[in-house]
């Protein structure tokens, strides 16, 4: 499927005069007797001196590189520096010819809530002057180039990989894919790390603009800074940080979803430590959010006759404050400040905990006037149950498993929508109420420390 779309876009670019032949130097390992892909050659970055830069990009400073720019280049297969750079013919996309179109795209589209780093870096790249960028390599593995004279070449991954966004949609739904990729109603939002900004703000739009086939261009681009470990960015290829399987085996997915969004490096690099992980899991997820919801529901179940007399849970004087927090949550989502939306959720949990400590519904039942005490208990529990329910709904984008568990205690089994916040919930007392989260154990902490 991807081969078909790659050929379509390549042929259109070629027909429109945006494919040019260039002479390059490609890395060849004299030990392994093979050409090396850009990712199979390592060396020192000429800009930041990082000693594990790869032939296409430096993981440390994010600069795009050509293999022959590396200082002290070596083969990552055999580890030797017996590298020669042999002259080869490649095909390139003439980004210089597309510079005006790409600049117009960036200046127009970046008004749609692009992250600052995406906009600034894209404009910086263009200001430096775009040059033809290779889209082929003399290799055996990959999509073959359908052009005479390049029978032994394949497309470079950063040409065919973005095109796979289209191909995957086509593979998913062969009938409706054009509703997404050839419709003026589509809003394409792309999230990435800052090291992928040039590919997605310059090269990828350049492919689409140059082909002129009517494909949807990115609407919004949100690029994060780096999550780092010991001041080095997390990188699967460089073996820095936890890999996904290790992470999920040690903690459930909900924990990582919450943690990584809470630490999301939206505007600056953020250092990951086990100490921060423990703080977020134990004090925020477990104590502030999970314990609040669990405690409210447990108190309600212990006094279910009174809760049933209450009917539906509703807010009282606290309505304005709660609605303000939920409004912040919604607006941050709309503006794609996802970390700030999560912070708003935590703020609602803090508000609920403060209200519980202030109202102390359990103490109302100790009043001498039993009837008055029961009325006070019901009046206190209504808002607390509503806040616990609202938290359960708002948790869903971040911790879907915990959200569904909590909502099941309110008799709700479907995935929630924001419209469900308008509901006045009533607890379902037929289920055993279990904690949503657990604190990290010493064993889990030791495993995580070992993996790092």
Closest by CA position to 332, among listed 266, 268, 381: 266
- Asked if residue 239 has pLDDT above 70, the reply is no
Q: How confident is the model at residue 235 (pLDDT cuts 50, 70, 90)?
A: low
Can you give the pTM of this predicted structure?
0.85
Write out pLDDT tens, residues 185-210: 999 999 999 989 999 999 999 999 99
- CB burial of residue 156 (10 Å; 0-12, 13-18, 19+): buried
Domains of the chain: residue spans and CATH = 1-21+94-224 (3.40.50.620), 31-81 (no CATH), 287-422 (1.10.730.10)
Residue 369: the pLDDT is: 86
Q: How confident is the model at residue 322 (pLDDT cuts 50, 70, 90)?
A: very high
Write out pLDDT tens, residues 427-439: 998 889 999 999 9
In percent, the amount of the chain with pLDDT more than 90 equals 74
Residue 241: the pLDDT is: 62
- Asked if residue 451 has pLDDT above 70, the reply is no
Q: How confident is the model at residue 366 (pLDDT cuts 50, 70, 90)?
A: confident
Residue 446: the pLDDT is: 84
Q: How confident is the model at residue 139 (pLDDT cuts 50, 70, 90)?
A: confident
* Rounded Cα–Cα distance for residues 404 and 24 (Å): 55
Lowest mean per-residue pLDDT among 10-14, 81-85, 339-343, 404-408: 81-85
Number of Cβ atoms within 10 Å of the Cβ of 435:
15
Write out pLDDT tens, residues 386-416: 999 999 999 999 999 999 999 999 999 999 9
- Asked if residue 229 has pLDDT above 80, the reply is no
Pairing of strands 83-93, 133-134: antiparallel
Q: How confident is the model at residue 450 (pLDDT cuts 50, 70, 90)?
A: confident
């Amino acid at each position: 499927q991807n081969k078909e779309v790659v050929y379509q876009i390549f042929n259109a670019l070629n027909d429109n005069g945006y494919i040019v032949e260039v002479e390059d130097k490609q890395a060849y390992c004299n030990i392994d007797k093979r050409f090396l892909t850009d990712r199979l050659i390592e060396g020192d970055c000429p800009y930041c001196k990082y000693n594990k830069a790869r032939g296409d990009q430096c993981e440390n400073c994010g600069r795009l590189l050509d293999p022959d720019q590396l200082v002290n280049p070596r083969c990552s297969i055999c580890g030797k520096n017996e590298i020669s750079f042999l002259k080869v013919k490649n095909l390139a996309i003439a980004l210089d010819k597309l510079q005006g179109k790409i600049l117009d795209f960036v200046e127009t589209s970046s008004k749609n809530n692009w992250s600052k780093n995406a906009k600034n870096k894209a404009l910086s790249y263009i200001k430096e002057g775009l040059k033809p960028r290779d889209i082929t390599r003399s290799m055996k593995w990959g999509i073959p180039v359908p052009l005479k004279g390049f029978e032994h070449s394949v497309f470079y991954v950063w040409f065919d990989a973005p095109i796979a966004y289209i191909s995957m949609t086509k593979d998913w739904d062969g009938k409706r894919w054009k509703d997404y990729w050839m419709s003026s109603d589509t809003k394409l939002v792309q999230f990435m790390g800052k090291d992928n900004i040039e590919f997605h703000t310059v090269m990828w739009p350049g492919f689409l603009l140059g082909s002129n086939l009517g494909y949807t261009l990115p609407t919004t681009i949100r690029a994060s800074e780096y999550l780092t470990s010991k001041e080095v960015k997390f990188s699967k290829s460089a073996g820095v940080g936890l890999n996904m399987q290790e992470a999920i085996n040690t903690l459930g997915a909900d924990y990582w979803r919450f943690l990584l969004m809470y630490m999301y490096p939206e505007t600056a690099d953020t250092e990951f430590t086990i100490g921060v992980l423990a703080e977020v899991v134990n004090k925020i997820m477990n104590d502030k959010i999970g314990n609040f919801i669990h405690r409210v529901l447990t108190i309600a179940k212990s006094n279910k006759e009174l809760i049933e007399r209450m009917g539906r849970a509703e807010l009282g004087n606290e309505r304005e404050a709660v609605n303000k927090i939920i409004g912040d949550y919604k607006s941050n989502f709309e503006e794609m400040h996802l970390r700030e939306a999560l912070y708003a959720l935590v703020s609602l949990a803090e508000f609920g905990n403060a209200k519980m400590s202030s109202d102390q519904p359990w103490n109302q039942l100790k009043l001498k006037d039993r009837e008055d005490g029961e009325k006070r208990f019901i009046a206190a529990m209504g808002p607390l149950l509503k806040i616990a329910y609202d938290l359960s709904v708002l948790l869903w984008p971040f911790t879907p498993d915990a959200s569904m568990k909590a909502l099941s205690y309110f008799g709700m089994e479907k995935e929630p929508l924001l419209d469900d916040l308008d509901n006045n919930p009533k607890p379902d007392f037929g289920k055993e109420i279990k904690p949503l989260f657990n604190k990290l154990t010493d064993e889990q902490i030791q495993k995580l420390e070992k993996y790092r």
